[in-house]
Amino acid sequence: MVKNNNFSSVILDIGARYGIHPSFKNFGGENIMLLVEADKIEADRLKKRYKNFKNVKVYTQAIGKICGYKNLRILKNPAMSGFFKRKKNSPLFWGQRKYQEKLITKNKVKFETLKNFLKKINYKIDFLKMDIEGGELDVLKHPGNLFSSLLALRSEVSFLSNYYSSKLKDKNLIGGTFGKMNEILNKHGFKLLNFDYTGKGDYFSKYISSNEKCGMLQWTDATWIKDPMKFSKEKNPVKIIKMIVFLFSNNASDIALWLLENTYKKHKKFKSLKHSKILRISQILCLKHFYNLKWLPNQKIKEHKLFYEKVFNSKYPEMNKFNESLELNPL
Which residue type is seen at 222? A
CA distance 133 to 131: 6
Give domain status of residue 274, yes or no: yes
Give domain status of residue 89, yes or no: no
How many other CB atoms are found less than 10 A from the CB of residue 252?
Answer: 21
Instruction: Look at residues 219, 217, 139, 121 and name the one whose alpha carbon lies nearest to residue 185.
Output: 139
273 lies in the same domain as 152? no
CA distance 192 to 261: 22
- φ and ψ at residue 59, rounded to 5 degrees: -115, 125
pLDDT in tens, 116-146: 999 999 999 999 999 998 899 999 999 999 9
Return the sign of the alpha-carbon dihedral for residues 299, 302, 304, 307: negative
Buried b (16+ CB within 10 A) or exposed e, 187-211: eeebeebeeeeeeebbeeeeeeeee
- In the chain, the number of structural domains is 2
* Consecutive H or E run containing 42: helix 40-49
Range of the domain at 296: 252-331
Q: From first to last of its 331 residues, what are the pLDDT tens digits of the chain?
A: 566 777 899 999 999 999 999 999 877 668 999 999 999 999 999 999 999 999 999 999 999 998 999 999 988 888 888 888 877 777 777 776 788 888 889 999 999 999 999 999 999 999 999 999 889 999 999 999 999 999 999 999 998 887 776 554 444 445 688 999 999 999 999 999 999 998 888 888 888 888 888 888 888 999 999 999 999 999 999 999 999 999 999 999 999 999 999 999 999 999 999 989 999 999 999 999 999 998 899 999 999 999 999 999 999 998 788 889 988 888 7
215 lies in the same domain as 285? no
